[in-house]
Amino acid sequence: MTDCHIDMNGEVDCSGSHMITEVPGCFPANTTAIDLSANLLSFIPRTTFENCSSLQMVDLSSNVITTIEAFPEGLESLKVLDLYNNTLNF
């Protein structure tokens, strides 16, 4: 994954590049946290996190997100979804 770092605890850090415009595809199955903050994401597709059943935290703060399609089923472990500082349309 370009501009992303994956540690042994299943945490993916793609934060702060201010260059990512699309969510990187295919996160490892054991991913527990994804930090995509401080980028240029504007849209989060429905399929983005569908293979991440261990996912507990997603940080999408400080992007330019206007639209999030419904999150997929199977994210029962998700505890934190940070959408602070975006321009969501409801």
pLDDT (tens digit, 9 = 90+) per residue, 2-35?
Answer: 679 999 999 999 999 888 999 887 888 899 999 9
The CATH number of domain 1-90 is 3.80.10.10: yes
Tokens coding 54: 């261990």
Separation between Cα atoms, residue 64 and residue 87, nearest integer Å: 6
pLDDT tens digits along 43-87: 998 888 888 889 999 999 999 999 888 877 778 899 999 999 999
- β partners of residue 68: 44
DSSP letter assigned to residue 16? T
